[in-house]
Amino acid sequence: MTGCVCPRHENGPDKGYHAPYEGDIKQRYTCKYCGVTASSINRLTNGSCVRHPRGQGKGFHQPLL
């Protein structure tokens, strides 16, 4: 997994590699920027975040660790 380039890397498409999630498995995942919750990490990280540091809609939700 970490040997493949990530199309949604924070530095831009294909400008970095996948990084493993190092948090615990939870029942609810919370975005560290805006507080939105989701039932799975996949659902959380697929949505764009309105309070992302790069601007509204310019990045995806990031889970709290």
Listed in sequence order, the residues at least 6 apart from 57 whose beta carbon sits closer than 8 Å to its beta carbon are: 48, 49, 50
pLDDT, tens digit, 9 for 90 and up, residues 33-54: 999 999 998 899 898 999 999 8
Closest CA to 13 of 63, 58, 50: 58
Please determine, for residue 1, whether its predicted confidence score (pLDDT) is greater than 70.
Answer: no
Question: What is the pLDDT confidence band of residue 64, given thresholds at 50, 70 and 90?
Answer: confident
How far apart, in whole angstroms, are the C-alpha atoms of residue 52 and residue 34? 8
Interstrand relation of 37-38 and 29-30 (parallel, antiparallel or unpaired): antiparallel
Q: pTM of the entire structure?
A: 0.68
User: Pick the residue with more confidence: 55 or 14?
Assistant: 55
Domain spans of the chain, in order of start: 23-65
How far apart, in whole angstroms, are the C-alpha atoms of residue 13 and residue 5? 8
